[in-house]
Structure 1
Amino acid sequence: MATKILIPSPLRPYTDNQEAVEIDGSNVGEVMSNLIARYADLKRHLYTEDGKLRNFVNVYLNDEDVRDLAEGDNTPVGEKATISIVPAIAGGF
């Protein structure tokens, strides 16, 4: 089953300028793994060298932060699931 992943503007050059892609997987971690398998240049922007999601990258499953979900990356994706990748933005006054 394919999950829709929303790609933020700064990362679109690494997904052939697509704002969303459909990726197969049964849980969040598998979908993200399949995403970087298809678009290898994304890996360095999303993950550290030891394979952990970068601190400034937030991943949401249907508007819920994956880090806050009880099963984390192992959370199953259901039908019509949407994953959003949201890079944190620093700044202030």
Structure 2
Amino acid sequence: MWWRDGTLFSPPPEAVRVDSVTARVIAEMAAEKGNPLSTEAIEPASLSGRTVWAINALHGIREVTAWIDGPKLAQIPELTTEWRTAYELRRAPLARG
């Protein structure tokens, strides 16, 4: 996921990828916050100067700080911390069976 001009983006539904519970939770969070969320097919070079997140169920939201042979990325630690904290507050332990 990545940010551009205050809007959070994710790949379009037709993009080949593993279905992501984390992406769905972040989309729900964006809706609750009234934060614009959009989808877009994008080339790596177009992410230059953008804040990019690597997301998954194990680690939640992680800010991408560098990309080997890729564009220079921006970091906004306060934004990432705010969203990571909100994401972590949604976690719940699994029931023992």
Q: Same fold (TM over 0.5)?
A: no
With the length of structure 2 as denominator, give the TM-score of the two structures: 0.27
Larger of the two Rg values belongs to structure: 2
| Bigger relative contact order (CA 8 A; separation at least 6) | 1
